[in-house]
Copies of this chain bind each other. A is one copy, B any other.
Amino acid sequence: MNKIKFETDYQEGASPEVLRLLTVTNLEQTSGYGDDVHCQRAKSLIRKEADKPDSAVYFMAGGTQTNTTVIKHLLTPCEGVISVSTGHINVHESGAIESTGHKVITLEGVDGLMTAESIREYMTAFNADPTNEHMVQPGMVYVSYSSELGTLYTKKGLAEIKSVCEDFGLKLFVDGARLGAAVTAEGSDIDIKTLAELCDVFYIGGTKNGALFGEAVVFPKPETVNLRQFTTIIKQQGGLLAKGRLLGLQFEALFEDGLYYRNAKHANTQAMKIKQAFNEKGIPFLIDSPTNQQFPILTSEQNDELSKNFSYESWQPLEDGRVAVRFCTSWATADESVDKLVQSIKQL
């Protein structure tokens, strides 16, 4: 029997609505590289979602591509990007940022989140350092929303980060690979409009929220950045899809009547059931996450038992022999799968 998988949020295909739209439009003829009506309509929907009619929107196929292309585009050759040490660009992108010549400058986060205070401390010390001409110039702050640990910025926290960025001339870039889970989480006070107010650039992740693949990059204030050459840089980085309409179509499906939010809400709801089950069992968590990634800490007996019927990611071994693991839900996580998992947790 196959195990039920809670490994990631990209282990199924796409929302049926997405597949349906791909299918019914399949024989339409369109120009390549995103110059088509579906991309135009998707951009229009996203601009509306951001409440920024003039924002510039671009589509790319994946997160690494997106992070690399945006950072490469916005930094000068001697600038680096500030990230928490657990940031995706620092850990799990095979050095993609460095491969374009830029250092990832790491600060310690709190529960996977950057703090305005840590940026201010770093920049104050940097500016006071007489040898800083020999150092990588900080040019940008990168944060993930939701974070790699499933946690969320508050509107107040992100506004403080924005403020410190302005004080020190840093651009602010929000990685939204898991944006859906963030904006629909219980208690979240940041939506896409908020991001469009606070960031220089952010992206709306499709891959982990119902698309086959695809991320939508938004520059809310295009007049403040040089976008003339961005398409060429996307192409140079291998991120310009020949059949660009595939990206437009998917975001059209996701945003024309709220599918993006329904998908994410579903993932969060399923995660909360799992969270509750562990909580009721008295099993602790590595971190308190309100989104679709949950990190319970299991004894090896509990781990062995749950592993029989479920697969999930081993996240971090603890010194006492226990292990923090990750259960991940998605738009596709079935009620039946969650029920079985909850039952198994109860029986631990």
Contact = CB atoms under 8 A, between A and B. Distances in A.
A136 B94 contact: yes
One complex includes copies of this chain to the number of 4
A348 B193 CA distance: 55
The listed residue with most B CB atoms (<10 A of its CB), out of A26, A31, A77, is: A77
Contacts of A92: 131, 134-135
Contacts of A94: 78, 133-136, 232-233, 235-236
Chain A at the B interface: SS class: loop
A236 B8 contact: no
A162 interface: no
A267 to B, nearest CB: 14
Contact of A13 (B2, B22, B229): B22
A77 B68 contact: no
Contacts of A133: 33, 94, 231-232, 235
Closest 10 interchain pairs by CB?
A65-B238, A13-B26, A94-B236, A95-B136, A94-B235, A78-B232, A5-B29, A10-B242, A98-B103, A64-B238
Interface of A: 2, 4-5, 7-8, 10-14, 16, 19, 22-23, 25-33, 61-65, 68-69, 72-73, 76-80, 91-96, 98-104, 130-131, 133-137, 207-208, 212-213, 226, 229, 231-233, 235-243, 246, 313-314, 332
